[in-house]
Structure 1
Amino acid sequence: MITVVTATYNRASTIPRLYRSLCTQSSLDFEWVVVDDGSVDDTPKLLNEISEASPFPIRVIQQENGGKHVALNAGAQNALTPWILIVDSDDALVSSAVETVISGIRGQGASDVVGWCYRKAFFDMRVVGARVDEDNCPEYMSPTEAGHLFKGDLAYVFKTELLLRHKFPVFGEEKFVPELYIWNKIGDEGRICIHGNTVIYLCDYLEDGYSNNFSSNLRKNPIGFLTFYWSQIAREKSFFYKIKYSIRSVQCCIYVLLKRFS
């Protein structure tokens, strides 16, 4: 029914935790596609060992280091199911995650549903972002709207065909494009069901992760960020966010020029 896609780079220390969470799923009706983005630690060896003993199908895709966005493109291309759940290699799933997703998909009769949105929590089960009362949570929202409402990272399940249609763009040697850029494009194709009080995903923010190194990533990947910010200026309804992303766009342009003339 679904493919769990994981892009990984030098995460031999955390992949076993993710693997254990997949092994303890109440439903094993899924496959796991892992894209190793040129790891130089023990990740390839570990993935080979895991794939030989797994109770569910695993396929490991090896590629040269190109960034998470390139790895996610490869993951989508190798998925054999109609739905994809992206899980980072330093994170995990609650034991009911796959069953919850499959139940939601089977119970939804609307043909225009292109994705599902669930909550993330830290490993101590504190919800990431803001808690929202059920009565104040719309049934459908765009990824941008959901981000503003919940004020934190969210777990998405998308149609495989749409992740293939809307691939992450690649800009030279840059290695990052904000995921929301693609999530919004998928949201433009149909409705995304919101489960604002259902946690399926457990996460951690490591010191060398993208979230904790925003400024550095912005300087290293200005075109990728500029592409996202420019699209958000037209998408946002709030004047505050339009100004915020306009300023960020100018910042990205400066970094682009500095890289070209350095």
Structure 2
Amino acid sequence: MSDLKSETLAIITPVYNRSVEIKKLYSSLNKQVNKKFEWIVVDDGSSDNLDDLLTSWGENSKYKIILLRQKNQGKMVAYRSAVNYLYKHNIKWSIVVDSDDWLLPEATSEMLETIRQLENANYIGAVYPKVSKLTNMGDWTQKMQPSVNIIDLKYRYHINESAILIQTLQLKWGFDHIIFSNEKFMSEEILYNCLMTQGKFKVCKEKFYFAEYKKGGITNSIFKTWLRNPKNTIALLLSRYNALGSLPYKFRVIGRIKTIINLNAFCIKLNLNIRNVTPNKMLSIMCYLPALFLMKRRFK
């Protein structure tokens, strides 16, 4: 195996008032067999004792712990701040691990081995299973192509979540091409849909990432979050509709119908003119009634 520097891999954790939950992740990082990585924690305007915790942890750590601070602007802005740090310090690869998730001891070893394999390959990153009670693992590598776009996982293979290892240069390019509003929530899916033009991800089978989705997180209140962030929600659904164009006909049609129903329902709830928003007026007309039903059920 080639000798990979510690600057090769970073684990990024955006965090907002999660000083209790993040302790399990920290414990799992301490148990990593290979400690050639940096842990970059982005404090998104927390009001708990996160600073004190990270300072004490960093004093005797066998890997570098970096704390970046910003006012509360949401996870995607925090992610962008981390990527700017990676780019500036020439850290070439990273993975986002949320504050309520944790890794098996072999995680960084597996990722560094994957990075070695991808050094001269035509991939922008790699995807691994993300194990949780909410995630449908599907046939992870059994029926999947060896390379995928992120949108393939959900709409072609019925896999809702994955762990994503990705090149810094690709992330920097993606963030430079995203339009940010002043809203605090933006889905990472927008970033990955944007990166479709840059290349695909290698499919890996190793299971080392475990997610718990604690109460108070975005995942457990996603539709309330949508309503508080209408510009970025519409941007997400339009991005999804366009990205689905890359899928085979059957998956493209089903995926776009579901997306239009979601978009219609969202517009109805907020009294927005669907015709001014939809990318397909005819399909929006056809899907109006199921969207009305979805709106009443989802946005109570």
Task: Normalising by structure 2, report the TM-score.
Answer: 0.79
Residue 113 of structure 1: aligned partner: 123
Task: Tell me: CA distance 1:165–1:109, structure 2 relative to 1, closer, same or farther (3 Å).
Answer: closer
The answer (yes or no) to whether the contact 1:6–1:87 under 8 Å persists in 2 is yes
- Secondary structure of 2:207's counterpart equals strand
Please say which of residues 104-113 and 6-15 is displaced more in the overlay: 104-113
The answer to whether 1:215 aligns with 2:223 is yes
- Secondary structure of 2:148's counterpart equals coil
- Secondary structure of 1:90's counterpart equals coil
The answer (yes or no) to whether the contact 2:129–2:137 under 8 Å persists in 1 is no
The answer (yes or no) to whether the contact 2:135–2:160 under 8 Å persists in 1 is yes
The answer (yes or no) to whether the contact 1:116–1:192 under 8 Å persists in 2 is yes
d(CA) in 1 for partners of 2:262 and 2:81?
A: 29
Displacement after TM superposition at 1:253 (Å): 4.0
- Secondary structure of 1:36's counterpart equals strand
Residue 63 of structure 1: aligned partner: 70
How big is the alpha-carbon RMSD for the aligned residues of Structure 1 and Structure 2? 1.9
Residue 199 of structure 2: aligned partner: 190
Structure number having the greater strand percentage:
1
Amino acid of the structure 2 residue aligned with 1:102 = L
Residues 121-168 of structure 1: CA deviation (Å, up to 9, x unaligned) = 13xxx6931331644121101100022314221000111111111115
Task: Normalising by structure 1, report the TM-score.
Answer: 0.90
Percent identity of paired positions between Structure 1 and Structure 2 = 26
Please say which of residues 12-21 and 238-247 is displaced more in the overlay: 238-247
Q: Give runs of aligned pairs for residues 93-242 of structure 1, distance below 5 A.
A: 93-108=103-118, 110-122=120-132, 128-132=135-139, 134-148=141-155, 149-167=157-175, 169-172=179-182, 174-195=183-204, 197-236=205-244, 237=247, 238-242=252-256
The answer (yes or no) to whether the contact 1:120–1:127 under 8 Å persists in 2 is no
Residue 298 of structure 2: aligned partner: none
The answer (yes or no) to whether the contact 2:150–2:192 under 8 Å persists in 1 is yes
Residues 14-60 of structure 1: CA deviation (Å, up to 9, x unaligned) = 11111111111111111111100000112222122222221101110
The answer (yes or no) to whether the contact 1:155–1:200 under 8 Å persists in 2 is no
d(CA) in 2 for partners of 1:257 and 1:56?
A: 51
The answer (yes or no) to whether the contact 2:41–2:65 under 8 Å persists in 1 is yes
Residue 245 of structure 1: aligned partner: 259
Displacement after TM superposition at 1:212 (Å): 0.7
Amino acid of the structure 2 residue aligned with 1:96 = E
Residue 45 of structure 1: aligned partner: 52
The answer (yes or no) to whether the contact 1:114–1:189 under 8 Å persists in 2 is yes
The answer to whether 1:86 aligns with 2:93 is no
- Secondary structure of 1:166's counterpart equals helix
Where in structure 2 are there 5+ consecutive unaligned residues? Answer: 1-7, 273-300
Where in structure 1 are there 5+ consecutive unaligned residues? Answer: none
Displacement after TM superposition at 1:216 (Å): 0.6
The answer to whether 1:23 aligns with 2:30 is yes
> Which one scores higher on RCO, CA 8 angstroms, separation ≥ 6?
1
The answer (yes or no) to whether the contact 2:32–2:108 under 8 Å persists in 1 is yes
Count of matched residue pairs: 253
